[in-house]
Amino acid sequence: MTGLRSFAVSLAPVLVLIAMWEGVARSGLLTPFLLPAFSVVIGRIWEDLLSGSLASAMALTTARALSGFSIAAVLGVSLGIVMAVSGAMRWFFDPIVSVGFPTPKIAFLPIIVLWLGLNDASVVAITALSPFFIIAINSHAGASGVDKQLLWAARSLGSKPGELMREIILPAATPQILTGLQIALPTAMIATLVSEMLTGVGGLGGQLLDAQRYADSPGLFAGVVEIAFVGTVLIRGVAFGRRRLLCWHSEGRAGATA
């Protein structure tokens, strides 16, 4: 009951926003082309759902986003931890990460398309590149912040490097790593959608591009609502996984009792 009550409270602002949207659209202050009613947009989403175009577009965009995000997660976490435990690797990669992090990754899309062509590989590649540096930086910060006294004590007791990594560094860095993954997932989703819109290779971004080309106002707003729905589901899923993975941690216990 507590969970249902908190869900209802969190949903209330969204319902108020929808009611305001419907009211303004029905008031005649704006033309239906500039702001179609929410009920009209929902009708359009229902039509797309019945035709099967919505399910295929959602599946394609989600698959691309999760594929790129997974690649970035594996490579970013590995690089961040390696930089934290190896001075030589930190010396080599730190300038590269420092330059790559603030650079808009979408600027590399023309080069990636030149190399890979207009296909799923290009979208997945730019999706993986966009959150990579966020994950690497957070992983490095988490692994670097491990209490040095714990490491010294473990070494004095004869722990090997593999045991230090498995028993101390990874558990201590996990909260920070998961924070990086939570921040990186929306970035991956944005990169996927922008890439689809710029390359026209289908998905939810491709549908938005088609709606813009044909001045399909309900289709544009329907695409935004669909994207918001997919993004919310993915972010909620990551947050749920974080709570489960950190059930042993004070943060996880606090979230479970909240």
The pLDDT > 90 percentage for the chain reads: 61
Tell me how far CA of residue 146 lies from CA of 29, 84, 85, 159, 177, in angstroms.
58, 10, 11, 16, 13
- Other CB atoms closer than 10 Å to residue 5's CB: what's the count? 9
3-state secondary structure of 118: coil
The per-residue pLDDT for range 128-172, each reduced to its tens digit, is 999 999 999 999 999 988 877 777 777 777 777 777 887 888 888
The full set of domain ranges for the chain reads: 36-257
Sort residue 52 into left (φ over 0), alpha (ψ -120 to 50) or beta.
left
Angle between the 53-85 and 87-100 helix axes, to the nearest 10 degrees?
A: 140
Model confidence, pTM: 0.87
Q: Does 250 score more than 70 pLDDT?
A: no
- Residues 167 and 160: their CA atoms lie apart, in Å, by 10
Which CATH fold topology does 36-257 show?
MetI-like fold (1.10.3720)
- Residues 104 and 207: their CA atoms lie apart, in Å, by 24
Q: Which two tokens stand for residue 231?
A: 């993004």
- Residues 55 and 118: their CA atoms lie apart, in Å, by 22
| Sign of the torsion formed by the C-alpha atoms of 86, 175, 229 and 57 | positive
End-to-end CA distance of the chain: 13
The per-residue pLDDT for range 200-231, each reduced to its tens digit, is 888 999 999 999 888 899 999 999 999 999 98
- Residues 158 and 160: their CA atoms lie apart, in Å, by 6
| Sign of the torsion formed by the C-alpha atoms of 214, 215, 221 and 224 | positive
Q: Does 184 score more than 60 pLDDT?
A: yes
Do 83 and 94 touch, CB atoms closer than 8 A? yes
- In the chain, the amino acid numbered 52 is G
